[in-house]
Every structure is written in C-alpha cells, then in structure tokens.
Amino acid sequence: MISVRGAVQAIVGIAISVIAIAIVLGSVDLAKTADVLRQTTPGWVVIAIGFLTIDVLLRAVRWQRLLAPVAWVPYRRILRYVLIGYLANNVLPARLGELVRSHFLGDREGISRTTTLGTVVVERVIDTTMVVAIAAVAILVLNVRGVITNVVTIGAAVVAILVVGLAVGVAAHRLPGAEAVAARAARWPRVGDVVTKLRSGLAVAGRPRTLAEALAISALAWIASLLAFAAVGQAVGLELRVAEAALLASSVALASAIPSGPGYLGTFELAAVKVAEAIGLPSDPAFATALLVHASILVLTSLGGIVALATLGRRLRVD
C-alpha cells in the first residue's frame, strides 16, 4: 500500500513535470522542432545509443566496486539490478528506482537491504559531485554567466553538504558524544540495527581504493554520456563543442535529481532548452537533441529492465 507521504511525493513530482513541460512548450517552436527531427541522421543516433549503453555498463561496474567491501556480486547480476532500478525510475516518480534496486539486490543476494541502500547513497554523492564538477569546468570554458552559474554554485554547496554528511555518517562512532548517543539508541534496538546496517553501506566511502575506483569509473561513464549528447547533436545538425555537450549532459543530470514525474519527463527537456539558450545555441535543435537523448535512454533502460526482470524472476522473499 502506498503511504500518504509517498502519494504526496508522487503528486508533487508529477506536478513539477507538468509545469516543466508547459514551460518547454512555451519556449520552442514545435513545428520547427518537428522539421529538425524529420531530418535526423539515424547513424548518429545509433552511435549515441552505443555511448549510452557504455554509460549504463560502467555504472554497473561502479556499483559492483562499491559493494565489493560488503559482498562480492557477479557483474551480470549487478547489471540486472541496475537495469531494474532504471526501469522503476522510468515508471515511478521521485527516483524510487534507487529503493527498488536496493531491495532486489538485498533480497536476491542475501545482503541487508539497508546496507545496500547505504552504498547507493555513496554512489549518489559521487555522481552529484562529478556532475557539479563537470558543469563547473564547462562554465569556465564557455565563460557562462547568470542563472546557470548560480545553479551550479548552489549545486556545489549541496555537494559540500552531502560530502560532510557522508563523512559524519562514516565516522559517527568516533565523534565526541558518540558513546552517549549509542547508549540512548540502545533503548530502541530496531532503530539501532537500521542505523548500524546503513553505516555499513556508507562505510565503503571510507576506503580510499574503493572511492578512487568509483570516481574513475564515474568519470568514464560521464564521458560516454556527453559523447552521446554530441552524437545526437550531430544527428540533428547541432554541432556541439565538448564543453557544450558536457554542460548539457551535466545540466539535465542535475535537473533529473529534482523529484519529478516518471522518467524525469519535462525537467530533462527544460534543463536542455534553458542551458542551450544561455550558451547561445538555437532552442529548437537543442529541444530535438534532448528529446532524442531522453527517448534513447528511456527505451534502452526500459527494455533492459524488462529483460532483467524476465531473467531474474519477480518472486521476492517476504521475510
């Protein structure tokens, strides 16, 4: 049964998507966008899908490396859980796919779901840090000013908060007053157990080698993502420089972090169009680029998720 809080989050997310779609439709010429799409070069779209596939495969490798200190899970199974999570994100609002993949992996591999979720939190912090870093470098290269710069600055502040929060989570037991807090928490064993398991997942961030591997893999994944944008740009006649493709890719990723409707509909396209306007790119080809990239991501991850579900089976433990 969906909780009241979950229902509210879903309604808010869908409302955000509807508003974003309305703003986008008021910012572009749909007839011109349709003309651009009709002239799309299919070969470049195929190349983009190849880069997006590499992106997904690398993200599965990254999660495997983050999970390694907790338990070793074969790559094929990790990839299935990642794809199931993406499929859930495509049909559920507010990025609930992160919880779904944690539940599936924890259930199937006999690992605490809470610990698994802790590794996902670490992954999200790494991803957000990487996205903000890419956007910041792109802004410097392109000499962008105004709203985009302010958004990235806010993103940097959020990253700082997330990193500090993660560090506190990893080293909480060593902080002053930790013993007193632990003694009070002992009154609620269930809560204490959840916190302990969550910290076990967060603790992977305290391993330098694991963290370095995750950062390196993230960099490769984002390179593949920005190359996908560049390839789709070529497909619609929008020749993007590396910095422009990087800013578009990082901006839609930041926008996708906002709780929205299923599949990040609206927020993805709005970010692309507004960033394109800010750096002097024509809105209609930029909108067409966003539509094609987004559609490619949704189709790729949805088909992959469906295959993963069929291969893995849908039966879950209830204990």
Buried b (16+ CB within 10 A) or exposed e, 206-238: ebeebbebbeebbeebbbbbbbbbbbbbbbbeb
Rounded Cα distance, 309 and 272, in Å? 31
Only one residue has tokens 């259930």, namely 107
Rounded Cα distance, 11 and 43, in Å? 39
pTM beyond 0.85, yes or no: yes
Each residue's pLDDT, cut to its tens digit, for the chain (319 residues) gives: 445 665 676 787 788 888 999 999 999 999 999 999 999 999 999 999 999 999 999 999 999 999 999 999 999 999 999 999 999 999 987 778 899 999 999 989 999 999 999 999 999 999 999 999 999 999 999 988 887 888 888 878 888 887 888 877 676 545 454 445 444 555 555 656 677 788 888 889 989 999 999 999 999 999 999 999 999 999 999 999 999 999 999 999 988 877 788 888 899 999 999 999 999 999 999 999 999 999 999 999 999 999 999 988 654 443 3
Angle of helix 189-202 versus helix 147-171 axis, rounded to 10: 120
Q: Which long-range contacts does 97-102 make (Cβ < 8 Å, 24+ apart)? A: 98/124
Rounded Cα distance, 40 and 31, in Å? 15
Rounded Cα distance, 267 and 4, in Å? 24
**Is there a contact between 175 and 138 (Cβ–Cβ < 8 Å)?**
no
Alpha-carbon torsion (13, 219, 115, 85), positive or negative: positive
For the chain, domain boundaries: 27-312
Alpha-carbon torsion (129, 135, 141, 143), positive or negative: negative
Q: CA torsion 149→128→254→308, rounded to 10°?
A: 160
